[in-house]
Amino acid sequence: MRKRLASMFGAFALAILLADFATAAPTFTGIGDLSGGQPFSRASDISGNGLVVVGYSGATEGTEPFRWTATTGIVTLTGAPQMIGVARGVSADGSIVVGDRSSTASSAGGPYLWTESGGIVPLNTMNGAVVQIGAYAISADGSTVGGKAFEYPSRGSLATGWVPQTPANTPGTTFGLSADGSVAVGTYYRGQGPMPVRWTSTEGFQELGDLPGGRTFGEAYGISADGSVVVGYSEVVEPYGNQAFRWTNESGMLGLESPPSGSVAFSVSADGTLVGGVGYWGKFTEGVLWDEAGHLHSVRELLRSMGAGDAMAGWSLYEVVGISEDLRTITGNGANPLGRAEAWIATTSPADVNGDWVVNVFDINLVVSHWGEVGSAGDANGDGAVNIFDINAISAGWSHAPGSASAAVPEPSTWVLLVAALSGLALWRGWLGIRCGR
Ligand SMILES: [Ca+2]
Ligand SMILES: [Ca+2]
Ligand SMILES: [Ca+2]
């Protein structure tokens, strides 16, 4: 017994030593811009697997759609320049992209769908007539495209072409689709302005409500994978003082925590827990994330508190437009150190094992609950095992936020870490006991 305790103490001491070498940093990367033309890029969406960002960028002949991966960098969508247009949506695996293009001498303009194998497929007809504009969303499985045709909220596929969402008696746009494409969200125009709406084939349009104050006015931009959570904005102070909302069937429309000058939510994670968008503090614009409780966090502060301050030096982060399925990667837009508009991509710290963009006691709890397992849940240091080294990786990567990001969560005082480590050791000991008892 004494020998076992001694060996455990030895492991614990070794882990403490190794903590100094733990690397648990988030990443922040500018996406760059296409060569030639205006030096800017703008992200529209990120694939569910977090590996592909799509958007548009200035190039020699004008604005071209781009597709970005870590290995290829930013490349024009077709590989062939001079397709003037934008990319707005990408499928979960990154292989299918939708957007709009301008007409040229050789091709009609309008919505398109792009695949790695098939290249550009025009989506510009409905019932044989040329559709005006445009494709805004694609379902995670790539089966369904959403947008507007003849100014009406519409959806469709390569097989069906565009189909107006019915009843279609008001102009509007579909901005988001559930993973299987069966639920659409967006806006239609009625009364004082756009109304946030949710649509299914069986129920048709459902107005999502309005936050108190201002006009009855808003838009829905993001939807969870199962279609149960919708995010967007609603006007609360006339004119155009907007507040981000999160809607569920159970709660209805609820306002998310908002800075003094307003906010807009653009994106929600597949599981509905993490929301991304923009917050306005007077003349300052900040990319923000809302946690599951609806609390607001500056992305800049979250990244800085986890140790990515240097990578962001000189950048302004203006908005978050996409979140990967595992919550760990986000994309957005900002201004680079030269003051030019540039898209960016960021990943949370490996020590943030529960993917809420804060490294704190809840990450330790997750490690403890997976103690002794082999696998990725709770593996903060990426060695495939869940043990004391993960507790140390978390303590090394702990969020040290001066602002609101961690205000609700205590700093890792010695007793917190000690209790966590001891409870982990107790579990570990139990696990060893079972193993030795065979
Ligand atoms: Ca209102
Ligand atoms: Ca966390
Ligand atoms: Ca580990």
Q: What is the CATH classification number for the domain harbouring 314?
A: 2.120.10.30
Stretches in the chain below the pLDDT threshold 50? 1, 5, 17, 19-22, 403-438
Q: What is the 413 CA–ligand 1 centroid distance (Å)?
A: 44
260 cis-preceded (ω within 30 degrees of 0)? no
Judgement on whether residues 45 and 130 belong to the same structural domain of the protein: yes
User: What pLDDT is recorded for position 402?
Assistant: 58
Distance CA 252, CA 352 (A): 31
**Does residue 338 share a domain with residue 364?**
no
- Whether residue 246 is contained in a domain is answered as yes
Paired tokens of 243: 């507040």
What gap in Å lies between CA 411 and CA 401, rounded to an integer? 9
Write down which residue in 314, 347, 380 finishes a domain.
347
Last residue of a domain, one of 291, 320, 347: 347
- The answer to whether the pTM exceeds 0.85 is yes
pLDDT of residue 109: 82
Distance between Cα 288 and ligand 1 center (Å): 22
Give the integer Cα–Cα distance in Å for 133 and 124.
8
Q: How far apart are CA 300 and CA 402, in angstroms?
A: 12
Centre of ligand 3 from the C-alpha of residue 281, in Å: 40
Q: How far is the CA of 193 from the centre of ligand 1 (A)?
A: 11
Sign of the four-CA dihedral 110, 160, 142, 244: positive
Domain match, 10 and 59 both: no
Domain that holds residue 367: 2-22+360-436
Point out the domain boundary residue: 323, 347, 371: 347
Contacts within 8 Å (CB) and 24+ apart, 252-259: 252/208, 252/209, 253/196, 253/208, 253/209, 253/210, 253/211, 254/294, 255/211, 256/231, 256/290, 256/294, 256/296, 257/290, 257/294, 257/295, 257/296, 258/296, 259/286, 259/296
- Please check whether residue 280 lies inside any domain of the structure: yes
Ligand 1 centroid to Cα of residue 235, in Å, is: 4
Whether 227 and 101 map to the same domain: the answer is: yes
For residues 108 and 241, state if they share a domain: yes
For residues 137 and 187, state if they share a domain: yes
Residue pair 60/74 in contact by the 8 Å Cβ criterion: no
- CB atoms inside a 10 Å sphere around CB 311: 17
Q: Would the CA dihedral through 6, 433, 416, 366 be positive or negative?
A: positive
Task: Please indicate, yes or no, whether residues 179 and 287 belong to a single structural domain of this protein.
Answer: yes
- Residue 327: inside a domain, yes or no? yes
Q: Are residues 171 and 207 in the same domain?
A: yes
Within-domain flag for 223: yes
Ligand closest to the CA atom of residue 192: 1
State how many domains the chain has.
2
For residue 27, report the distance from its CA to the centre of ligand 2, in Å: 15
Asked whether residue 353 is assigned to any structural domain, the reply reads no
Paired strand residues for 64: 57
Instruction: Indicate whether 119 belongs to any domain.
Output: yes
Give the ligand with the smallest distance to the CA of 392. Answer: 3
Q: How far is the CA of 277 from the centre of ligand 1 (A)?
A: 19
Whether 297 and 364 share a structural domain: no
Of the ligands numbered here, which is closest to the C-alpha atom of 372?
3
Are both 136 and 258 inside the same structural domain? yes
Q: What is the pLDDT of residue 81?
A: 57
Ion ligand 1 neighbours, Cβ < 5 Å: 210, 214, 235
Residues 87 and 37 in one domain: yes
Q: What phi and psi values does residue 249 have, to the nearest 5 degrees? A: -60, -35
Q: Looking at the domain assignment, is residue 354 inside a domain?
A: no
31-61 burial, b if ≥16 CB within 10 A, otherwise e? bbbbeebebbbbbbbbbbbbbbbbbbbbbee
User: Cα(290) to centroid of ligand 3, in Å?
Assistant: 28
CB 278 within 8 A of CB 288: yes
Q: Same structural domain for residues 253 and 321?
A: yes
Query: In this structure, what are the phi and psi dihedrals at residue 110, rounded to the nearest 5 degrees?
Result: 120, -170
Residue 355 forms part of a structural domain: no
Look at residue 382 in the predicted model and tell me its pLDDT: 92
